[in-house]
Amino acid sequence: MGDKPIWEQIGSSFVQHYYQLFDTDRTQLGSIYVSICLSVLSTLMQGHWQKSSLPFTKIAHSITAQDHQPTPDSCILSMVVGQLKADDDPIMGFHQSFILKNINEAWVCTNDMFRLALHNFG
């Protein structure tokens, strides 16, 4: 039939939702995350705080490529390569990875890693 695998549907749907929220009202991003165990709760709460206090006003993400794979524990690994522009800064490449997990019939984000593709620093 040509339908995409379910992990691609869920992953690409999440990615679209994530960057749309990020670029329009990132203070709402906290709702997509969940803490699975008490030891990472403070990290994720801090992540939410950091997202609303990032050092820019305007941001736009452009996705160059995204990949999605199922993981052994029935999660989804999503990887995004793209470019972003914050305020009047030059366009920069970025790389982001997410892990999505189905909890109580909702897909939530349990891991989020972001890096700018800056190779000439440090």
x/- letters, 34..53, toward a second copy (CB under 8 A): --xx--x-------------
x/- letters, 62..81, toward a second copy (CB under 8 A): --xx-x-x-xxx-x-x-x-x
- Going by C-beta distance under 8 Å and a sequence separation of 6 or more, which residues neighbour residue 7? 68, 69, 70, 76
Contact region with a second copy (CB under 8 A), list: 8-16, 18-26, 32-40, 52-60: 32-40
**Could you say which of 12, 22, 85, 93 contacts a second copy (CB under 8 A)?**
93
**Could you say which of 21, 30, 99, 107 contacts a second copy (CB under 8 A)?**
99
117 is an interface residue for a second copy by CB under 8 A: yes
DSSP the chain: --PPPHHHHHHHHHHHHHHHHHHHHGGGGGGGB---SHHHHHHHHHHHHHHHT-S-S-EEEEEEEEEEEE-TTS-EEEEEEEEEEETTSPPEEEEEEEEEEEETTEEEEEEEEEEE---S--
Residues that bind a second copy (CB under 8 A): 36-37, 40, 64-65, 67, 69, 71-73, 75, 77, 79, 81-83, 93, 95, 97, 99, 101, 110-111, 113, 115, 117-119
